[in-house]
């Protein structure tokens, strides 16, 4: 008896005791004894190291997908059991959803989800999307033209009738808060809804690691791991090359909207790209992961002599900039023609390619940054997302 109590105590300390059995699936043993045996929990493994918004716990017979930060400031956590046969599970109420994997059909709601599906070789699983015109990918646009992907209306008010007719295995969405009536409506139909919070990540590699989220749902874990590892290695290599630069140019960013200048805060992922490219972002010491709102006088005072100006809002030419506000022409980066932006490279229907692919390919973004700030260090790299504003 003492040995049993000691073992129980150690188990609780190591793995946590939970009366709701949130880490356990109850299998209908008579249905398939082999499946029941394989579903016995083992020590879970977590292979997500940079992303903060989700985890994947591996057990014998199933996986648990945990979404820890579905929207900014959320204290809500979602737990989904990923299994091969949901009909054998009898304690489904212990989870927010029990999902059969790999998914055969899927609906996503952000263009940032498209590259992950394509990289995993599973773009053919996509059956519906809101605002199809926003998608830039040539591969996915071909499927749209062939009628393989259904228009679902607007993101904030998805056409639930059309969605129900599609009956996808899951809907992948995103949220700025927890008040989403459309999600509630979809969930009532029995279609699982999962929040992909890649956009809340504050580091470039954290955003890119969400490919493992899709890998777990599509049965492509090893492929996702391999793709992310390649991206991570290339990112680190580009960062190492940047450290060899003999100079550290100063960098200005952002532009005005209604006489207020918006630019990245010092802890944002945009600022990290500049820092990792060995650039001196002039607002690097500001705290926060969002954007700063400043008056034009303070920006001009601090940024007038900046060597480079990266990401000046939505402008695609210097003429557009001067037409919007004459003060732009007073900056040295403008005078010296050292302004770079990602807005000129668009898909066939006008979607900005950077918004779609950038979060998934931080290695290419960083290489662009190094090429811009230190062109001598990457002589063979052609700018992928960015181009000079003429």
pLDDT of residue 13: 37
CA angle 36–39–45, rounded 5-degree value: 175
**pLDDT recorded at residue 6:** 39
pLDDT of residue 292: 97
Q: Is the dihedral angle over the CA atoms 85, 87, 90, 92 positive or is it negative?
A: positive
Look at residue 29 in the predicted model and tell me its pLDDT.
42
In a domain, 180, yes or no: yes
Neighbours of 222 (CB within 10 A): 9
* Cis-peptide into 354, omega within 30 deg: no
pLDDT above 80 for 374:
yes
Strands of the 260-264 sheet, one edge to the other: 255-257, 260-264, 291-294
Torsion of CA 15, 19, 23, 26, to 10 degrees: 130
pLDDT of residue 350: 94
* Residue 222 domain-assigned (yes or no): no
Per-residue pLDDT tens over the stretch 240-296: 999 999 999 999 999 999 899 999 999 999 999 999 999 999 999 999 999 999 999
Q: Print the domain residue range for 261.
A: 243-388
294, 176: one domain? no
Question: How many domains does one find in the chain?
Answer: 3
- Domain final residue, candidates 128, 161, 196: 196
Q: 75-89, pLDDT tens digit by residue?
A: 999 999 999 998 877
The label of the residue with tokens 């979060």 reads 359
Q: Contact 55/68 with Cβ under 8 angstroms? A: yes
Residues 316, 265 share a domain: yes
pLDDT score for 46: 54
> Is residue 352 assigned to a domain?
yes
Q: Does residue 205 lie in a domain region?
A: no
Return the pLDDT at 113: 97
Quick one: 247 and 360 in the same domain?
A: yes
Residue 213 lies in a domain: no
- The CATH number that applies at residue 128 is 3.40.50.1980
**Considering 86, 101, 116, which residue would you say is the last residue of a domain?**
101
**Per-residue pLDDT reduced to its tens digit, 323-333:** 999 999 999 99
Torsion-angle region of 242 (φ positive above 0: left; ψ -120 to 50: alpha; else: beta): alpha
Same domain, 121 and 59: no
């Amino acid at each position: 008896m003492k040995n049993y109590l000691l073992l129980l105590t150690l188990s609780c300390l190591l793995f946590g005791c939970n009366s709701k059995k949130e880490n356990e699936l109850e299998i209908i043993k008579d249905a398939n004894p082999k499946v029941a045996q394989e579903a016995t929990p083992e020590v879970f493994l977590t292979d997500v190291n940079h992303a903060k918004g989700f985890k994947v716990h591996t057990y014998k017979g199933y996986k648990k997908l945990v979404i820890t930060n579905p929207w900014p400031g959320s204290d809500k956590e979602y737990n989904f059991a990923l299994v091969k046969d949901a009909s054998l599970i009898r304690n489904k109420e212990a989870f927010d959803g029990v999902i059969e994997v790999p998914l055969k059909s899927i609906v996503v709601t952000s263009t940032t989800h498209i590259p992950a599906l394509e990289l995993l070789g599973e773009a053919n699983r996509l059956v519906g999307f809101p605002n199809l015109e926003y998608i830039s990918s040539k591969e996915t646009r071909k499927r749209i033209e062939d009628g393989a992907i259904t228009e679902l209306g607007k993101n904030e008010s998805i056409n639930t009738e059309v969605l129900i007719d599609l009956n996808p295995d899951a809907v992948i969405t995103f949220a700025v808060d927890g008040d989403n009536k459309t999600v509630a409506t979809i969930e009532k139909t029995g279609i699982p809804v999962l929040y992909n919070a890649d956009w809340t990540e504050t580091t470039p590699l954290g955003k890119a690691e969400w490919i493992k989220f899709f890998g777990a749902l599509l049965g492509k874990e090893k492929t996702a791991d391999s793709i992310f590892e390649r991206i991570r290695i290339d990112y680190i290599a580009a960062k190492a090359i940047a450290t060899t630069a003999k100079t550290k140019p100063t960098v200005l960013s952002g532009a005005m909207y209604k006489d207020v200048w918006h630019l990245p805060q010092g802890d944002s992922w945009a600022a990290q790209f500049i820092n990792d490219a060995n650039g001196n972002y002039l607002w690097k010491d500001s705290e926060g992961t969002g954007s700063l709102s400043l008056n034009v006088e303070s920006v001009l005072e601090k940024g007038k002599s900046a060597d480079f100006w990266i990401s000046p809002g939505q402008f695609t030419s210097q003429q557009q900039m001067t037409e919007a506000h004459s003060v732009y022409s007073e900056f040295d980066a403008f005078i010296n023609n050292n302004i770079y932006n990602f807005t000129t490279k668009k898909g066939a229907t006008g979607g900005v390619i950077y918004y779609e692919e950038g979060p998934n390919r931080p290695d290419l973004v960083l290489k662009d940054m190094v090429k811009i700030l230190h062109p001598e260090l990457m002589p063979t790299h052609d700018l992928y997302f960015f181009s000079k504003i003429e």
